[in-house]
Amino acid sequence: MDQLRAIRYFCKVVETGSFTKAAKAFNVPPSSLSRRVADLEKSLGATLLKRSTRIVKLTEVGQIYYKDVQQILNQLEQSNETVRSYQTTPMGSLRISSMVGFGEKIVLPLLDEFSALFPEIVLDISLSDELSTLGRDDVDIAIRGGYAPNERVIAIRLMDNGFIPVASASYIEKHGTPNNAMALKNHNGLYFKAPSGPTPWLCNINGQWHDVSGPAIAISNNGSWLAKKACAGEGILMSTRWALASYLESGELLELHFDHPLAITQNADMAVYLLYQKQRYLVPKVKAAVDFLVERIKVSGNRGAM
């Protein structure tokens, strides 16, 4: 029995929920799938699918098996790709996932040049602040804010991701400069919302953390909208240096300084990391993109932010 083929059939049936639809995907008659899946079940001594003429669904043990083999098929495909592309020129589809703000501001502007350098690479970019589980899924490169990955994933620190407080000149004129962190509690706040929720203003004074958030004017996961509001003098905003760089340069927004530094989390090393699976660095397209992104972003990051 060709177990691998049987497993591929099985997975497709699960995904489409139908032998007929799955058969179409392989351009073989449904009877083939029916027989192969039956073979597989026989060889495993267990029923994987509960069938009726209308509906096909996984049994309990089928679910376990499906999750396992799905990942195995993925790994096998990646190994094949590694070998196939070994020492060839970078090409093929490359999937990059990045945080929204960072992706828009930093990554996307670089990618035109990257495409020009590697015309045979087809880019597939997803911007999302939800963290994708690198390794299990179909992303080649992920760019995420400070969390520690597992051992098989390489993390390269791209840039500092610490949040700084800013406000427009007009706001300061109207409400005065807060002369210490505690005074922020009386100031209007524009709050960035991470996937985990709105980010408070925190301040560490003599080893003690204090929440110094002021009344909220607006909360959003869209950094540039908040920045616009800050420019309009609606409140104080905490955001990353890289997101605010253009406003700081133009003078539209001014950084506020305090004796005790502000943060939005008690976690110390906030940074943006580029993540990829160790083994995938052997694939030319992945290596090309990792090298390119790390070089460009680290350079620009050091110039602008550190």
Contacting residues toward DNA, per CB under 7 A: 1-2, 5, 18-21, 27-32, 34-39, 51-56
Contact 95, 141 (CB under 8 A): yes
Structure tokens that stand for 211 in this block: 């929440």
Q: Select the binding partner of residue 30 from a copy of itself, DNA, none (C-beta < 5 to 8 A, by kind).
A: DNA
Shortest distance, position 120 Cβ to DNA, whole Å: 29
CA nearest to 194, candidates 120, 259, 99, 124: 99
Amino acid identity for residue 253 in this structure: L
What's the Cα-to-Cα distance from 294 to each of 94, 128, 144, rounded to whole Å? 16, 20, 13
x/- site string to a copy of itself, residues 136 to 155, per CB under 8 A? --------------xx----
Q: Does 61 engage in binding with a copy of itself (CB under 8 A)? A: yes
Q: Select the binding partner of residue 169 from DNA, a copy of itself, none (C-beta < 5 to 8 A, by kind).
A: none
Stretch that binds a copy of itself, among 14-22, 43-51, 212-220, 225-233 (CB under 8 A): 43-51
Name which position in 18, 34, 75, 132 contacts a copy of itself (CB under 8 A).
75
Q: Does 28 engage in binding with a copy of itself (CB under 8 A)? A: no
Shortest distance, position 228 Cβ to a copy of itself, whole Å: 41
Name which position in 11, 38, 46, 125 contacts a copy of itself (CB under 8 A).
46
Shortest distance, position 29 Cβ to DNA, whole Å: 4
What values do phi and psi take at 278, rounded to 5? Answer: -45, -50
Q: Does 68 engage in binding with a copy of itself (CB under 8 A)? A: yes
Shortest distance, position 17 Cβ to DNA, whole Å: 7
Residues 240-279 that bind a copy of itself (CB under 8 A): 279
Amino acid identity for residue 125 in this structure: I
What's the Cα-to-Cα distance from 139 to each of 95, 96, 132, rounded to whole Å? 5, 6, 8
Q: 29 or 109: whose CB is closer to DNA?
A: 29
Query: Starting from the edge strand earliest in sequence, which strands make up the sheet with 202-205, in order?
Result: 208-211, 202-205, 262-263
Contacts of 254 (CB under 8 A, 6+ apart): 166, 167, 168, 169, 172, 248
Q: Select the binding partner of residue 151 from DNA, a copy of itself, none (C-beta < 5 to 8 A, by kind).
A: a copy of itself
Q: Does 3 engage in binding with a copy of itself (CB under 8 A)? A: yes
Shortest distance, position 58 Cβ to DNA, whole Å: 13
Total residues in contact with a copy of itself, by rule CB under 8 A: 29
Q: 65 or 191: whose CB is closer to a copy of itself?
A: 65
Contact 127, 103 (CB under 8 A): yes
DSSP state, 163?
Answer: E
Structure tokens that stand for 242 in this block: 């890289």
Instruction: Give burial (CB, 10 Å; 0-12/13-18/19+) of 179.
Output: exposed
Shortest distance, position 3 Cβ to DNA, whole Å: 8
